[in-house]
Structure 1
Amino acid sequence: MTVHPSLQNYADAWTQSVESIAELVQPLVEGEWNRVTPCPGWSVRDVVSHVIGMECEMLGDPRPIHSLPRDLYHVRSEFARYMEMQVDVRRHHTAPEMTSELEYVLIRRARQLRNESRAPDTKVRAPLGAEQTLELAYRMRAFDTWVHEQDLRTALGRPGALDSPGALVARDVLIEGLPKAVAKNAGAPAHSAVVFDVSGPVEFLRTVRVDGEGRGSVDGSPSLGPLVTFSTDWETFYRLTCGRVRAAAVADRVKVDGDEELGEAILRVIAVTP
């Protein structure tokens, strides 16, 4: 590959996850494409449609002209409507159509990666007509693809890849979302600290600190007197922060020490993905 060094890790993580997705869905029979995934409102077919659609956008393909049905309960925002377009337009595609389109898109994207010569700070298309840097686009595709690989693994009963390169990208993205969840959304008090102690295939300890003006930050240093400490495993952490499960459903896998009221408030808003 000829991508810039700062893009290489993201390109490698994306490649591994997307190839795993292709391998997972290639042998599926028609009915298995309708299995429910942990991603709200989406089946196996829908998740793969989303992956195809996002890769088409990375290639610069025009978005489909399509009217969404009015009864999609999980579509509650403009961002969700934007994402749903690529999904709904493929809802009646057959298994061979899905695997063929996925294979073709991945061939095109692999060629794009091989020939990538743009600088990491190059502005490219982002959802809702916005712009983002090429580096951020690469990073978010690696993150998004790994999370959806996990959605498919859960739906198909094929666990794995919890410590893959994509998992490490996901770790960093999810940790970056914690300060907003703790300080702004849960309203943790000024001059407080909240610790996340995560074990398993991806292990880390992070402290979210709230300053005197209520702004949150995160670092790897332990806190001597945190208001709340969460102890859980990596799989449960990513499922919570990606909105794949509610805290009540995994209460036996999350230990909360300290201020119970604040702990409950944080768990209610801990999903950091859109």
Structure 2
Amino acid sequence: MTVHQKLQSSIDAWTHSVESISELVAPLAESEWNRATECPGWSVRDVVSHVIGVECEMLGDPRPIHTLPRDLFHVVDEFSRYIEVPVDVRRCHTAPEMTSELEYTIIRRSRQLRNESRDPGTTVRGLMGKDTTLDELLTMRAFDVWVHEQDLRRALRVPGNLDSPGAQLVRDRLLEALPKVVAKDAGVPAGSSVVFDVTGETEFMRTVRVDGHGRGRLDSHVTLAPTVSLSMDWETYLRLACGRVRPAAVREQVKVEGDAELASAVLANMAVTP
């Protein structure tokens, strides 16, 4: 058997992004690995360590036995502690050690994915031992790796790949979350509509309509008189939706029309990633 067609798009997006990360960090000087990213408490080295650590876990490697320092302010719950262990254990690694391990991990993981023959609905073990489907696991790995590629690009001031296969996958997953963001998290009242007009490398325009029962519905048709209209570029939308910045930090990049109070509520609740 070969890789199921439904899985191939996620694998292709993951491959493109993880190889882009490898190319991006290969020439870095030692000092550049310490640059801060928009992920709280994480440097360039830490983001790459996270990518390596999760992919090693996907390969079935044992997790490191390691006790975290008590002064990591960004470690606030069980999930962040779980994620931090393979990051913290690599904080003493040199640039050559990091690039070598990343390259080796990509080779191993790519071989594993090329030989993947299971059905997309197969139950597999995800992060923290939680059951998920193979399709969902691979989709979220492609999502995570592309978002972290962009974290690294912003930290290193090397923009790119904002319209790559990973970008398309991330856009689609973020759009799926919009009805909940608007109707439940932001509490936009029934009968209201919120338009998102996103421009740039990966552009789209969508409306979230809140029905009489308070449920949100995503619509590709744009209403002529929305309750709120939010316009921004794709990278700003990404940073907000992935919790990289607070709305106040990108106020100049977001154009708001309509109910200002509701707009603020929507922007304050846009982050959908942990």
TM-score by length of 2: 0.96
Instruction: Indicate if the aligned counterparts of 1:2 and 1:113 stay in contact, CA closer than 8 A.
Output: no
The alignment status of 1:218 with 2:226, answered yes or no, reads no
Match in the other structure for 2:82:
82
The residue matched to 2:60 in structure 1 has which SS? coil
1:213 deviates by 2.3
Identify the residue that residue 251 of structure 2 maps to in structure 1.
251
Q: Which amino acid aligns with 2:10?
A: Y
Partner of 2:264: 264
| Local SS of the residue matching 1:271 | coil
Question: SS of the residue aligned with 2:71?
Answer: coil
Shift of 1:26: 0.9
SS at match of 2:177: helix
d(CA) in 2 for partners of 1:9, 1:54: 20
CA offsets, 1:1-41, max 9 Å, x none? 93110011111111011001001111112111110011221
| Deviation digits for residues 241-270 of structure 1 (CA, Å, limit 9, x no counterpart) | 111122112111111111100101111111
Matched residues in 2 for 1:47 and 1:2: separation? Answer: 32
Letter of the 1:199 counterpart: T
Output aligned runs, 1:122-141, within 5 Å.
122-141=122-141
Q: Which amino acid aligns with 2:15?
A: T
Query: Aligned partners of 2:82, 2:229: CA distance in 1, in Å?
Result: 37
Aligned partner of 2:12 in structure 1 is: 12
Alignment correspondent of 1:93: 93
CA distance in 2, matches of 1:218, 1:78: 33
Structure 1 position 128, deviation (Å): 2.3
Corresponding residue number in structure 2 for 1:37:
37
Q: How does 1:35-74 map to 2 (within 5 A)?
A: 35-74=35-74
Q: Give the AA of the match of 1:83.
A: I
AA matched with 2:75 = V
Cα offsets for 1:106-132 (capped at 9, x unmatched): 110111011111110111112222111
Unaligned ranges ≥5, structure 1:
none
CA distance in structure 2 between the partners assigned to 1:17 and 1:75 by the alignment: 26
The Cα of 1:215 is off from its aligned counterpart by 2.1
Name the residue aligned to 2:170: 170
- The reply on whether 1:145 has 2:145 as its aligned counterpart is yes
For the aligned residue pairs, the C-alpha RMSD in angstroms reads 1.3
The alpha-carbon deviation at position 101 of structure 1 amounts to: 0.9
> Which position in structure 2 is the counterpart of 1:185?
185
Does the 8 Å contact 1:179/1:218 carry over to 2? yes
Task: State the secondary structure of the residue aligned to 1:45.
Answer: helix
Q: Does 1:112 align with 2:128?
A: no
In the alignment, the residues of structure 2 paired with residue 175 and residue 211 of structure 1 have an alpha-carbon distance, to the nearest angstrom, of 18
- Please tell me whether the aligned partners of residues 79 and 127 of structure 1 are also in contact (alpha carbons under 8 angstroms): no
Contact 1:205 1:222 in 2 (8 A): yes
Per-residue CA deviations over 1:56-96 (Å, capped at 9, x if unaligned) read: 12112222222222211112222212211221111111111
Once the two structures are superposed, residues 121-174 of structure 1 have per-residue CA deviations (whole angstroms, 9 ceiling, x without a partner) of 111112222111111111111111111101111111111101001000110111
Counterpart position of 1:231: 231
Q: Which residue identity does 1:111 align to in structure 2? A: R
Matched residue of 1:99: which SS? helix
Aligned length: 274
Structure 2: gaps (5+ residues): none
Provide the rounded CA distance (Å) in 2 between the counterparts of 1:153 and 1:208. Answer: 31
> In structure 2, what is the Cα distance between the partners aligned to 1:20 and 1:42?
19
